[in-house]
Every structure is written in structure tokens, then in C-alpha cells.
Structure 1
Amino acid sequence: MRRSLRFVSLSVLFFLMVQLQTSCSPRISGEGGTVPPAIELTAGEGSQKYNIQLDFMKHHFSGMLIVRRMPENEIRILASTYFGLSLFDFSLRGEDFLVNSCVAPMQKEKVLKLLEMDFKHLFLSGKGIRVRTSKDGAIEKRTSGKGFGKSIVSITGETQGNPEQVRIRHPWIRLTIQLDKLPKDN
């Protein structure tokens, strides 16, 4: 009798702790609905430029990412080193991802699939994404995928759709991609 009473009281205590924890957690949205893109591009607007940093295990790479919405609703994504070596040139047309050019080490199916998923989450509306916003609204975290495809996108900035910094982490493969927005005059 005492064991069952102890079990019931521990179960009730556990249930209350779970309820208390979920009521104090930050706002979560986007589950089941469509989440707007992290970076919104408008037609006619000039190119948006970002410093890009890629960290894969012990390897570090940095350069410039240029993104522009082209006619016919195409999004063009170009990355190059600061010395002028073109790394990749991708196009997003609706849900289609096209590889216009890419350096040889990145021409692997899994690498391209991972970059496709990341750029679609950044520039297109998506489903199946969990969104958490800090209480002050300065940082937004978006989580999507499972296992090796899991990505955590941290967005920092005052204006929604126009972030100052975007950080994409893939915890299972120790890959981090960071984008820092450059001023318009550069």
C-alpha cells in the first residue's frame, strides 16, 4: 500500500514539475504551420552581402556570400573567398535547387544536399521547423530535422527578415556556418 502511495505521489510531483517547466519556457511557434524565411529578399532590391565563415571540425574557411533575387522569382547564391576564388554558385527556383558551379571538394551529394537544406531554410518559407524566441525578441532559434540532418539556426537582429547575424549549426557533424551582414555601401 505504501509503495503504491509513494508511486502515485512521485508521479503527481513529476507531472507538476513538467507542467511548471513548460509554462516557463520561451515562446515556441511554427510547429504545424508555415514559418517565414529567415532572410527575406525582395525583387528589385540589390544584392545582400554577408561575411561567411565555415567551421568543419578543425578546418576554418571564410569568404563572402552574395544573395540576390533575380527575375522570375529565382534566388541566386554565390560564395567566394576574399582572394576571388569562386566556391559555389547556386540557384533556388521554387523548391528546385540548381548547382550552377561548385569547387571540386564540395561536389559531393551529401554536402550539396546539406547546403540545399540550409539555404532553403534561410530563403524560403518552410514547414516542420520549431521556432523559439527569447523574451526580449533579440534572438530566434529555429530547429529542424533529426539525426545527421538536424540543424539549429540562430538569428540575431532587430528587424525580422533582415538579420544582422545568422548562425547555422549541425551538431552531429560539427559543422557551423555563420553569416554576418555587411553594410550596404560595401
Structure 2
Amino acid sequence: MSGEGSTVPPAIELTQGESSQKYNIQLDFMKHHMSGMLIVRRMPDNEIRIVASTYFGLSLFDFSLRNDQFTVNSCIEPMKKEKVLKLLEMDFRRLFLSGKDTRVKATKDSATEKRTSGKGFGKSVVYITGDTPGEPAQIKVKHPWIRLTIRLDKLSKEI
């Protein structure tokens, strides 16, 4: 598909004014396993708001992404480390904004797209599965150097 250096479209397209995108989220970080719901929305001022909470209502994190700014509105303690927050920022930028320096491959059946970016500690591999570009059914983000895996499963619009 795309080689290194070309601009890669965001994995998840967010349209301003459209309702929120909702995903089941499973986050495995070191020995911590968290699951819940991720809600993402493009605000009128072009800010992307990313909120994750458990099914019981405990907020896992609340981030704002605007151009070059990344704001941590809140975050639970196990993830409140500068390097972890930087990795999450890079992951969400790769998911919701167009980017460069990403290697893209499709599986033989073209059902899954594999995007690899970064090097060393910051290396991430993103697996995107779904029929509609910009609206994947499932996304899995893996960081090989640390034990961090994020899995997003799209929820239907009725929820």
C-alpha cells in the first residue's frame, strides 16, 4: 500500500459535528488489565476529545488532541508516567490524524491492514480490521518493547 515517507490517512475518520465514535477498549499495561468504553469526538473548535472509562463509570483517561497540542485532562495513576503518556499521545495521533513515516501492509485477503511506525521504545504496530476505510471494526495497537496493548472494537451507533 503506502511506503515510508508518504502521508497515511487516519485509521479512524472523525467528522466535525458528527456524533461520537464509540469503542469497547481493552488496555493491557504491564500487569494491569483495564476494559471499558472509549468515546471519541471532534469538537466544533477542531479539538479531538478522547475519553475512556470502565463500564462502572471510573474514568481511565481524558485527553484532548488539537494540532500540535496534547492535553491530559485526567488519567489514572498506573498510566500517569511521562513516557507512557507520550506513547499514548503518539498512538492517538496515528489513529485520528494523518501521519508520515508509517509503513503500511495489507494481508493477502486485504481484511487487515498493518501499520508500523517508530523505532525502539516508541515503536508501535497497529492492526486495522474492517470493510469501510476510516471506520474500522477493530483496531489493535501493540508496543513490542513494553507490555502495552490497546484493542478497540467498534460499537454500533445505537449505543
- TM class by smaller structure: over 0.9
2:28 counterpart (55, 60, 83): 55
2:105 counterpart (126, 132, 137): 132
- Cα RMSD after superposing both structures: 1.1
2:2 counterpart (20, 24, 29): 29
Q: CA deviation at 1:105?
A: 2.7
Q: Deviations over 1:101-140 (max 9, x none)?
A: 2223322111110100100000000010000012332100
Q: CA deviation at 1:100?
A: 1.3
Q: Could you say which structure has the higher helix fraction? A: 1
- The 2-side partners of 1:161 and 1:35 are apart by 11
- After superposition, where does 1:76-115 map in structure 2 within 5 Å? 76-115=49-88
The answer to whether the 8 Å contact 1:30/1:127 transfers is no
State the partner residue of 1:180: 153
- 1:168 paired with 2:152, answer no
Q: Deviations over 1:149-172 (max 9, x none)?
A: 110000000011100000000011
Report the TM-score when normalising by structure 2.
0.95
CA 1:62–1:172: 2 relative to 1, 3 Å: same
Q: Could you say which structure has the higher strand fraction? A: 2
Q: Matched residues, percent identical?
A: 77
- The 2-side partners of 1:58 and 1:99 are apart by 23
SS in structure 2 at match of 1:53: strand
SS in structure 2 at match of 1:127: coil
Structure 1 unaligned residues grouped into runs of 5+: 1-27
Give the total of aligned pairs. 159
State the partner residue of 2:15: 42
CA 1:79–1:165: 2 relative to 1, 3 Å: same
* Higher gyration radius (CA): 1
- The 2-side partners of 1:126 and 1:138 are apart by 22
Report the TM-score when normalising by structure 1.
0.82
Q: Which runs of 4+ in 1 moved over 3 A?
A: none
